[in-house]
């Protein structure tokens, strides 16, 4: 039985009879079928790798085709939606530096955690959190709500930069708040919470140059690692060939691995990338793949499981092709990604880093959303609301171009809800599917 089911059953048993609970179990839309894919309950899905095992996801859509529902949002944001139980959760911000609007002040700045009905997109609740001031006068490109929430059966975990890390229950009540630093940055903050055992990991590079492990129940610090500089990526959990669990994060100059239980640094590997690191890492079969750098022209692969500086012993290859913002996906020995500044789609051999194809997509423009892989297809969402669907194979094949342009910006990454896609803009949350 999964966490969603056990949570709902235990809560029902406390308030009703066993018979009523079993009736609820039989009829609730929130409970997935046995063997169903886990909820998309954090950034880039269950594995953090942007991969879905869902079947029947839409390939084509438009503003009038294959839209199950469309919900107005109270404000913009670059975060991605997540799915847990019968709810969709998403963050936005209001009051200050709203794209296309004049006025507003920092004193009016609020972040919002939204809960929507998964079936029809209706707003269930909206919990607003006032910003801890002063904030940046201007966050370049993506605003004040760029960190995607994470969820478990008991709590929602949200990172709001210098305003702190928050936990809420599923009714929107605040349970705890923890400060992780008071610094800000002109590019804002973007790393999302990652859940592991009884811990929640927070990459607070912007706020304090620190990677934190917090207790899920209380928000109290369990361990921290300093020196996480120029790092906007969300940490990734992976398993080395030895079976050892490793927590991976990229920073300026190198990739680091930590023991997720204790915070002990296990290994480091130089990247030859001279500036900030935004794309999240992907890992497969004990190999870590990393893209990044201001120019968007660098990447590398390193074998996990080492100790100390493993640059000479475990680094497998480096490449001059990479990404500035978007994260890649992995399938059948190949990496797929888009260079966000150039509108170019890439496929590279994971074994060597050699580029298989490098194709400029027609009028793709900028891309901040990370790639999504499902059913042998790669979905790329542009900042103006078009989605390019490519075949996930070494031969370049464009399957569809879909247009949701609504006059705002699309910065969040697509999420999966059963056999439907969730895409957010600064104005709306779209549920795409029949």
Are 30 and 176 found together in one domain?
A: no
23: left (phi over 0), alpha (psi -120 to 50) or beta: alpha
Three-class SS of residue 249? strand
pLDDT, one tens digit for every residue, the chain (434 residues): 444 434 333 433 333 333 333 333 333 333 333 335 789 999 999 999 999 999 999 999 999 999 999 999 999 999 999 999 999 999 999 999 998 888 789 999 999 999 999 999 999 999 999 999 999 887 877 899 999 999 999 999 999 999 999 999 999 999 999 999 999 999 999 999 999 999 999 999 999 999 999 999 999 999 999 999 999 999 999 999 999 999 999 999 999 999 999 999 999 999 987 788 999 999 999 999 999 876 555 899 999 999 999 999 999 999 988 898 999 999 999 999 998 777 899 999 999 999 999 999 998 989 999 999 999 999 999 999 999 999 999 999 999 999 999 999 999 999 999 999 999 999 999 999 98
Domain count, the chain: 2
DSSP code of 277?
B
Are 54 and 27 found together in one domain?
A: no
Tokens of 239: 């398993």
Are 395 and 325 found together in one domain?
A: yes
**What CATH number is associated with residue 384?**
2.130.10.10
Q: Give the distance between the most distant pair of CA atoms in the chain.
A: 63
Are 28 and 45 found together in one domain?
A: no
Are 75 and 1 found together in one domain?
A: no
CB 89 within 8 A of CB 149: yes
Strand-pair category, 308-309 with 265-270: parallel
Are 277 and 156 found together in one domain?
A: yes
> 386-404 burial by CB neighbour count: b if 16+ within 10 A, else e?
bbbbbebbeeeeeeeebeb
Are 191 and 107 found together in one domain?
A: yes
Are 18 and 65 found together in one domain?
A: no
Per the structure, the complete domain to which residue 231 belongs is given by 37-432
CB 334 within 8 A of CB 347: yes
DSSP string, 113-175: EEEEETTT--EEEEEEEEPPSP--S--TTTTT--SPPEE-SS-EEEE-GGG-EEEE-TTS-EE
CA distance 28 to 32: 9
Strand-pair category, 299-303 with 287-291: antiparallel
């Amino acid at each position: 039985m999964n966490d969603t089911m056990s949570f709902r059953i235990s809560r029902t048993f406390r308030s009703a009879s066993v018979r009523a609970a079993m009736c609820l179990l039989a009829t609730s839309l929130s409970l997935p079928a046995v063997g169903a894919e886990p909820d998309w309950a954090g950034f880039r899905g269950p594995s953090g790798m942007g991969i879905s095992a869902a079947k029947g996801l839409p390939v084509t859509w438009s503003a009038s085709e294959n839209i199950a529902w469309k919900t107005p949002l109270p404000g913009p944001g670059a975060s991605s939606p997540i799915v847990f139980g019968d709810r969709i959760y998403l963050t936005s911000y209001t009051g200050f530096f709203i794209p296309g609007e004049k006025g507003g002040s920092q004193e009016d700045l609020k972040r919002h955690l939204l809960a929507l009905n998964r079936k029809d997109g209706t707003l269930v609740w909206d919990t607003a959190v006032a910003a801890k001031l002063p904030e940046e006068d201007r966050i370049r490109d993506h605003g004040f709500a760029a960190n995607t929430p994470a969820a478990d059966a008991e709590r929602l975990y949200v990172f709001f930069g210098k305003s702190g890390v928050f936990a809420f229950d599923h009714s929107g009540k605040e349970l705890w708040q923890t400060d992780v630093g008071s610094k800000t940055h002109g590019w804002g903050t973007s790393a999302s919470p990652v859940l592991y055992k009884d811990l929640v990991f927070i990459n607070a590079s912007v706020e304090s140059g620190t990677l934190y492990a917090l207790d899920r129940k209380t928000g109290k610090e369990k361990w921290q690692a300093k020196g996480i500089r120029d790092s906007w990526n969300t940490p990734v959990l992976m398993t080395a060939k030895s079976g050892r669990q490793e927590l991976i994060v990229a920073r300026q100059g190198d990739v680091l691995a930590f023991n997720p239980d204790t915070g002990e640094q296990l290994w480091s590997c130089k990247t030859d990338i001279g500036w900030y690191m935004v794309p999240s890492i992907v890992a497969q079969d004990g190999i870590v793949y990393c893209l990044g750098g201001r120019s968007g022209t660098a990447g590398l692969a390193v074998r996990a499981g080492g100790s100390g500086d493993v640059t000479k012993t475990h680094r497998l290859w480096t490449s001059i092709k990479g990404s500035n913002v978007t994260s890649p996906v992995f399938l059948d020995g190949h990496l797929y990604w888009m260079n966000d500044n150039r509108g170019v789609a890439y496929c590279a051999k994971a074994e060597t880093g050699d580029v298989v194809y490098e194709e400029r997509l027609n009028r793709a423009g900028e891309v901040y959303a990370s790639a999504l892989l499902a059913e042998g297809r790669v979905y790329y969402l542009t900042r103006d609301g078009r989605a390019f669907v490519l075949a996930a194979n070494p031969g370049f094949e464009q399957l569809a171009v879909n247009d949701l342009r609504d006059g705002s910006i699309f910065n969040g990454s697509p999420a999966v809800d059963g056999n439907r896609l969730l895409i957010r803009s600064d104005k709306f949350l779209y549920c795409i599917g029949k």
